[in-house]
Amino acid sequence: MIPRPGRAGIIAALDTGAVERAEAWAAALAPHVGCLKLGLEFFVAHGPAAVARIARHAPLFLDLKFHDIPNTVAGAVRSACALRPAMLTVHASGGAPMIEAARRAAEAEGGAGRPAILAVTVLTSTDAATLAATGVPADPAAQVLHLARLALDAGADGLVCAPPEVAPLRAAHGPGPLLVVPGVRPAGSARDDQSRVATPAEAAAAGASWLVIGRPITTAPDPAAAAAAIAAEIAA
């Protein structure tokens, strides 16, 4: 399971369908970040063997956002444990039985080195209007707090949330849960499709355990320099 840094660590999101590009990013970024994240685009294109190749460079966050009946999610977690990821994601909206099944499968299959089960609360791309249109009569912050309580009570090791929810979650749950936080944008950088955002320094100061950062690093002219600059910002 991923070590908890004394202050916020950086997870570089390697969002590409190209193995060579992912490998080049992994080699360049590994000295500057604590973890590398591979998600749906890479996994669907290249599968577990290619994930294992990239994971040689640094601890792996395998972000497949499992959301299915408990039995199916348990099987997916068992299969994922073969890659020895440090972290896995499930959707909190899958409910407590699904999260409990994921935690049990990780413990049974992963043993002492099991992956941390992270529950995705409300996607950082989701604004209030988008959430309301799905039929959830709450603002994103309230729904994040609701799903956080459900997920942690069901055995999740941590949560994926947006920067504005970090301080309220720390106030509600203390320093224990891993808070893994995308929607991080250095000052002046484009939001892209993220809707609930903050700078690296703001997210770290609020109490994030890990900052998940993709395009601000991977689309930079020099991704390693971009990662180093963010690392310096949160270390200050």
Ligand X SMILES: O=C(O)c1cc(=O)[nH]c(=O)n1[C@@H]1O[C@H](COP(=O)(O)O)[C@@H](O)[C@H]1O
What contacts 221, CB < 8 A, 6 or more positions away? none
- The correct pick among 123, 179, 198, 208 for binding ligand X (CB under 6 A) is 123
For residue 130, the minimal CB distance to ligand X (Å) is: 12
Active-site annotation holds for 153: no
Catalytic residue among 68, 127, 192, 222: 68
For residue 180, the minimal CB distance to ligand X (Å) is: 7
What contacts 12, CB < 8 A, 6 or more positions away? 25, 29, 33, 35, 36, 37, 213, 214, 217, 218, 227
Answer yes or no: are the C-beta atoms of 166 and 126 closer than 8 Å: no
Binding mask 145-174 for ligand X (x = CB under 6 A): ---------------x--------------
Specify the residue, 143 or 194, whose C-beta has the smaller distance to ligand X: 194
For residue 212, the minimal CB distance to ligand X (Å) is: 4
Answer yes or no: are the C-beta atoms of 115 and 86 closer than 8 Å: yes
Specify the residue, 111 or 211, whose C-beta has the smaller distance to ligand X: 211
The site for ligand X, by CB under 6 A, has a size of 17
Say which amino acid occupies 43: F
- The correct pick among 28, 34, 63, 211 for binding ligand X (CB under 6 A) is 63
CA atoms of 5 and 157, how far apart (whole Å): 15
For residue 192, the minimal CB distance to ligand X (Å) is: 5
- Identify which of 201, 139, 206 has the alpha carbon closest to the alpha carbon of residue 179: 206
CA atoms of 172 and 232, how far apart (whole Å): 29
Active-site annotation holds for 192: no
Residue 72 labeled ligand binder? yes
Tell me how many degrees the CA angle 219-198-1 measures, rounded to the nearest 5: 80
- The correct pick among 39, 158, 177, 223 for binding ligand X (CB under 6 A) is 39
Active-site annotation holds for 127: no
Residue 39 labeled ligand binder? no
Tell me how many degrees the CA angle 30-205-127 measures, rounded to the nearest 5: 90
> Contact residues for ligand X (CB under 6 A)?
13, 15, 39, 63, 89, 120, 123-124, 160, 182, 192, 194, 212-216
